[in-house]
């Protein structure tokens, strides 16, 4: 089985959790795309849901094409189910996310979900986080100063290294849907994810980071 087929199989299993009338959170990336497309097929077969919120403009376009009704979240919005992929999953269901650049919206939706289900191929399971570069979303203003503080946070939390790069696209800084930049942090390993998360949360200029701690309720890994 290829990695893409494994992703599709995980998405199909997650679709079994969808019930009529649900409000859904739709993740971003290649694995989440399988879920969105599968949801569209279920809707054509007669499933009726309250609607969904997409975590990126790319997912929103895919959802519209699949016939999914998109909602504007309000103060009382709760997601019965949010489904998204992950770049890494450790045994405690702590995640690295944000490889697709949508970590801020993904975390907002995950935090508002009654059930946040992670879907992935087996290659995303790791004994300890850090092999995949940790995305850190930062404001464009003085981003290099923020990068210096992020590197200090990596060192202070015991990471194996602190090599940072500003994500690029077509020769220019990659810009998120929220108008920010992303630092990709080559940490090698992250021995204490909560400690690193706390340091990043306290760093001015950091908008959000890709450590998802205590948010995932279950993972479907194929």
C-alpha–C-alpha distance, residues 159 and 50, integer Å: 43
In contact, 62 and 37? CB cutoff 8 Å = yes
**106 an active-site residue?**
yes
CA-closest candidate to residue 222, choices 103, 82, 131, 118: 118
In contact, 138 and 180? CB cutoff 8 Å = yes
CB count in 10 Å sphere of residue 47: 16
Helix (H) or strand (E) holding 53: strand 51-54
Distance from chain centroid for Cα 199: 20
Give the alpha-carbon dihedral of 89, 113, 153, 184, to 10 degrees: 60
Active-site residue, from 106, 152, 189, 208: 106
> Which positions are annotated as active-site residues?
106
């Amino acid at each position: 089985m290829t990695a893409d087929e494994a992703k599709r199989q995980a998405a199909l299993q997650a679709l079994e959790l969808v019930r009529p009338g649900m409000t859904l959170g739709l993740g971003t990336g290649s694995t989440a795309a399988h879920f969105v497309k599968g949801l569209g097929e279920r809707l054509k077969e007669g499933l009726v849901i309250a609607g969904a919120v997409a975590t990126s403009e790319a997912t929103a376009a895919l959802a519209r094409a699949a016939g999914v009704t998109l909602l504007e979240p309000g103060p009382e919005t709760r997601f019965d189910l949010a489904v998204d992929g992950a770049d890494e999953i450790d045994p405690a269901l702590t995640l690295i996310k944000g490889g697709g650049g949508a970590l801020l919206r993904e975390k907002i939706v995950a935090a508002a979900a009654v059930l946040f289900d992670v879907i992935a191929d087996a290659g995303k399971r790791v004994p300890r986080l850090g092999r995949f570069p940790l995305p850190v979303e930062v404001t464009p203003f003085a981003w290099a100063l923020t990068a210096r503080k992020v590197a200090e946070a990596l060192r202070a939390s015991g990471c194996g290294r602190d090599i940072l790069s500003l994500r690029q696209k077509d020769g220019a800084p990659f810009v998120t849907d929220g108008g920010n930049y992303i630092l990709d942090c080559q940490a090698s390993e992250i021995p204490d994810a909560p400690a690193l998360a706390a340091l990043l949360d306290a760093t001015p200029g950091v908008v959000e980071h890709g450590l998802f701690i205590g948010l995932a309720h279950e993972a479907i890994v194929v």
